[in-house]
Structure 1
Amino acid sequence: MQAETGEIPASAATRRAVVTTACVAVAVAQMATTIYLPSMPALGTDIGAGDSVLQLSVAVFVVFAALPVVAWGRAAERFGRIPAFVAAGLCFVLASAGLALITNATELLGLRVVQAIGAGGIAVVGRMMIKDLFTGAELARQLALLSMAFVVALGGGQVIGGIVTSTVGWRYGFVVLAVLAAVPVAFALRISLPRREPGPRDKGAAGRLFTDRVFVVSAVAGGIGFAVIVMIQQKSAFIFTDRFALSPWVFGLFGVLYGAAYLGGATYVRQRVRELGAHAMMRQGAAIMLAGCVLVTVVWAFDPPRAIALPVFLAGYVTTTFGQATLFPNSAAHAVSHLATGAAIAVSWCALVQQGLAGIASLAGPTLSGLLAWSIAITLLAAVNVLIVAAPWKSTHSRRHKE
């Protein structure tokens, strides 16, 4: 059965422990951005870093969280899920502790790279452990549960970041990250997974994946959605601080809205994915994201008074977040569910595509001059995604993956 389905036998307690550990890991990895966002203006002032450097620090994190995910996947295949997860977690913990002590932009960027490498590792190995235990619609439901972890990250992380920055200072935000990241590492050390015998490395696996239309389109759709969210996050600290003149703690409180939106989207997926199917829900998510981006563009196209601009911008941000919560878990599940062999390592390739696209977008974001150009760019990306997921797909290579 394991050879045919890719699942490994595990007790209910082990499954719950794995899901819990993966959820906490995903939340902590995302918090590396959301706790950080409210602190960016104050951090920049203290270490003498300009807005472009601070936006680059977000882009660097996304890029370097993506680059090593396949290597982390290979490590998890060779040495085991738990050793790879713990190694990535320790990397994240040490980098986060180091960031609390930085004095200049070079240290900021360098340690954000190390932090990102660890974050990418715990996120992708956590998803691999989930894929080991679940398939099909149940996999999409469990990945939606991972999306609910973003509720903590988007809502709680931003609230924590805003309060910490406004009270004791931005350095303590990184201390909080280091402590939180130690939690899933401790959880993982208590998990005993059934032994997996490493199989022979299939040198043609990547080639087959990237000629499988279902895998490619699903991964790309999730990646574009992620790119849109990252580009909004990248600008939001400066929009709320400069355009709307809000203090960090107020900006942080808005995280509750984003968390609620993500919770709503993830709950919707868990309730309806068995009925509607992952592909249909991806279409819905992409359309909702486009509607949210249009609202954001309206703000900068017409430049209304603050009393109108702020609620419209928030509505666009919340709508886009709900759409991504609907799109992302379905794209991740749909990309690999039809693969009967090698699906676990395919999770890491999917993560590379998704985070890689987000990284490219985050590097391009700071080059866009003006908020109107930026908002048009994210709207165009969302529109492209609607077109990508609109056509019916049929896997042409899924049989080649089966034993």
Structure 2
Amino acid sequence: MTLSPRYLIILLASLVAFGPLSIDMYLPSLPLIATSLNAIESDVQKSITVFLFGLFLGMLLYGPLSDKYGRKPPLLIGIGLYFLASFGCAMAQDIDQLLIWRFIQALGGGAASVLARAIVRDIFAAKDTARILSLMHLVTMVATLIAPLLGGYLILFLGWRIIFILLMLLACICFFFVQTKIQESRPETLNTPSVKSAFNSYFLILKQPTALCLILCNAFSFSGMFAYITGSSFVYIQYYSTSAQTYAWLFSLNIAGIFIMTLANAKRLKHDTSKALLSYASHLSGLSGVAIIVSYWLFDQLTTMVLFTFLYISVTGVIAANSTANLLNLFAKQAGAAAGLAVAIQFGLGAIASFFVGFFFDASPKAMVLIMSLCGLSGLFFLKLSQQNHST
């Protein structure tokens, strides 16, 4: 590697941020996109669902291929595809074109999200994996904290298409630094005889009960957040009558919560195990999920909605970092496949949650809060199951 560890973490975090930035930055513009493209609200919400589904497929593809052919070639191909698709999104003239290009954009972005995590496991010691992933998540959260605020104000002056032009610029910068500053990190001792055997790693991982439960614990937590992402702009702007700029600030409050909790997680890892911190965060996620739906039925106030969604979303980064670290330590020799599978299932379930929010959306928060609650409780359930499997 030709970058210092500090700058390497920033670059890897920027790659992981492809997915969040591609969604968070343009959330405040969803109602505007619906008007601009003469589309109904549910069709615009599908632009999130198809993006998540594209990430799901892309991540399943890149992980095993990187175990076979190395991290760098598929990473560069993915970033290039992301750039081209972002241009297509910026030029879209109707909702169908936007949906197609968003799907292709996600296929490219999946490489960045998966392979950045695999590179971490390649070059850092196992005991440092959770801490490095937490630090990467902090950098990513700074970007996603700024993204909706930037997007909310940019659309006032330059329209929604500027969002995708900025994503093209991000892809160009990352492509340059990956090409010039990152060397191949795939361990020479990692000898995968065929592409088929690389994909067979998925079945090896899924057959391990603890691994499967760790993956699902993280995936359900993440899916609840994407239920919020899919429904919140319409719920806040139209149901609770906030402006797009106010919504951007409220959304960024959640990202600030993730940042604070992830920073605390990185510091606590010097004293507590990642398994203990995963347990704390999963319990808070489950309890917050219940509080979201109960407070909605009892009060239906913007204040309580903001409070309990904040508590739920703030621990998603802690759950992601610790569950991923434990998973990668179980499968160090299949780090690419393990990271790809975990993040793919995470986005796959996120796509399902997003679809159901859009499908059952009735201009009220009902669908969003119900799915968030179910996801929080499901994540806690699989954490408990993983602990039982580990003890036996």
Identify whether the pair has TM-score above 0.5, normalized to the shorter chain.
Answer: yes
2:298 corresponds to 1:302? yes
1:401 matched to which residue of 2? Answer: none
1:247 matched to which residue of 2? Answer: 243
Q: What one-letter code is carried by the residue in structure 2 that aligns with 1:157?
A: A
What SS does the aligned partner of 1:103 have?
Answer: coil
Give me the identity figure in percent: 21
Pairing partner for 1:58 from 48, 65, 71: 48
1:383 matched to which residue of 2? Answer: 377
2:327 matched to which residue of 1? Answer: 335
1:363 matched to which residue of 2? Answer: 355
- Alignment CA distance shift 1:296-1:154 (3 Å): farther
What SS does the aligned partner of 2:269 have?
Answer: helix
Pairing partner for 1:176 from 166, 177, 188: 166
State the distance in 2 between where 1:82 and 1:396 align: 38
2:217 corresponds to 1:217? no
Q: What one-letter code is carried by the residue in structure 2 that aligns with 1:193?
A: E
1:350 matched to which residue of 2? Answer: 342
Gaps (5+ residues) in structure 1? Answer: 1-9, 398-403
2:267 corresponds to 1:271? yes
State the distance in 1 between where 2:40 and 2:282 align: 34
Report deviation, 1:239.
Answer: 1.0
2:18 corresponds to 1:28? yes
Report deviation, 1:303.
Answer: 4.3
TM-score scaled by length of structure 1: 0.89
Render the CA deviation track for 1:176-230: whole Å, top value 9, x for unaligned: 1111222221211122235744532336422221111221111111100110000
2:193 matched to which residue of 1? Answer: 200
Contact preservation (8 Å) 2:92, 2:98: yes
CA RMSD of aligned residues (A): 2.2
2:69 corresponds to 1:79? yes
What SS does the aligned partner of 1:49 have?
Answer: coil
Report deviation, 1:105.
Answer: 0.9
Contact preservation (8 Å) 1:223, 1:358: yes
1:316 matched to which residue of 2? Answer: 308
2:39 matched to which residue of 1? Answer: 49
State the distance in 1 between where 2:93 and 2:369 align: 33
Q: What one-letter code is carried by the residue in structure 1 that aligns with 2:216?
A: V
Contact preservation (8 Å) 2:59, 2:341: yes
State the distance in 1 between where 2:201 and 2:370 align: 37
- Alignment CA distance shift 1:360-1:146 (3 Å): same
State the distance in 2 between where 1:369 and 1:165 align: 25
Q: Map 1:85-96; keep pairs closer than 5 Å.
A: 85-96=75-86
Q: What one-letter code is carried by the residue in structure 2 that aligns with 1:148?
A: L
2:178 matched to which residue of 1? Answer: 188
State the distance in 2 between where 1:195 and 1:96 align: 29
1:151 matched to which residue of 2? Answer: 141
1:400 matched to which residue of 2? Answer: none
Contact preservation (8 Å) 1:261, 1:322: yes
- Alignment CA distance shift 1:104-1:25 (3 Å): same
State the distance in 2 between where 1:119 and 1:134 align: 23
Report deviation, 1:16.
Answer: 4.0
Render the CA deviation track for 1:359-386: whole Å, top value 9, x for unaligned: 2222222122542343123212211221
Render the CA deviation track for 1:47-70: whole Å, top value 9, x for unaligned: 111111111111111111011212
State the distance in 2 between where 1:231 and 1:194 align: 35
1:5 matched to which residue of 2? Answer: none
Render the CA deviation track for 1:331-355: whole Å, top value 9, x for unaligned: 1111121224223322112222222
- Alignment CA distance shift 1:340-1:395 (3 Å): farther
Gaps (5+ residues) in structure 2? Answer: none
| Aligned residue pairs, count | 383
Contact preservation (8 Å) 1:38, 1:249: yes
State the distance in 2 between where 1:209 and 1:49 align: 42
- Alignment CA distance shift 1:137-1:393 (3 Å): farther
- Alignment CA distance shift 1:117-1:195 (3 Å): closer
State the distance in 2 between where 1:396 and 1:22 align: 34
- Alignment CA distance shift 1:330-1:266 (3 Å): same
